[in-house]
Amino acid sequence: MAPLNPARYEELQDAEDIINYMFAEPSLLHEALQASGCESPDGNKRLALVGDAVLKLALVAEGHDRDESRARINHVLSTKASNFYLAHRGFVLGLDRYVDKCQSQLGTPVSPKIMATTMEAIIGAVFLDSGNYVSALTNVLDALGLSWSG
């Protein structure tokens, strides 16, 4: 990956402020904000796979720790981890401003599907940057409005 230009580095710092996490490896956040087909064919989709799994794990584990019923855990999981909710939260937080789109997408708004994938990719990037610690996601999920209390 090419070195980040100063303007992009500032954008990444702004995104870090929104998600309440400072990356040791900013390139992970940069990758998380790449729509597919721009810098690579998959863009942020590999990170999104990680993020989807980790988000679900974090929500289920928190529900277990809260001694919630299986039905309640499933309800929170189906709500908070849904593409609709992920996209909604991403737009509310203004993260769409930081998504790198392909040349053919410039001038068009970020789609809900791209925003949901980006939210999952951000979660995956935090997980990997933290050394694969689900507990490192607590503040990020709170900031994103994806925790049980959010």
CATH number at residue 51: 1.10.1520.10
In a domain, 79, yes or no: yes
Number of Cα atoms under 13 Å in the Cβ half of residue 144: 29
Summarised one tens digit per residue, pLDDT across range 1-36 is 556 677 778 899 999 999 999 999 999 999 999 987
In a domain, 15, yes or no: no
Number of domains into which the chain is organized: 1
Per-residue tokens: 38? 């721009």
pTM of the model: 0.91
Summarised one tens digit per residue, pLDDT across range 93-110 is 999 999 987 655 556 788
In a domain, 11, yes or no: no
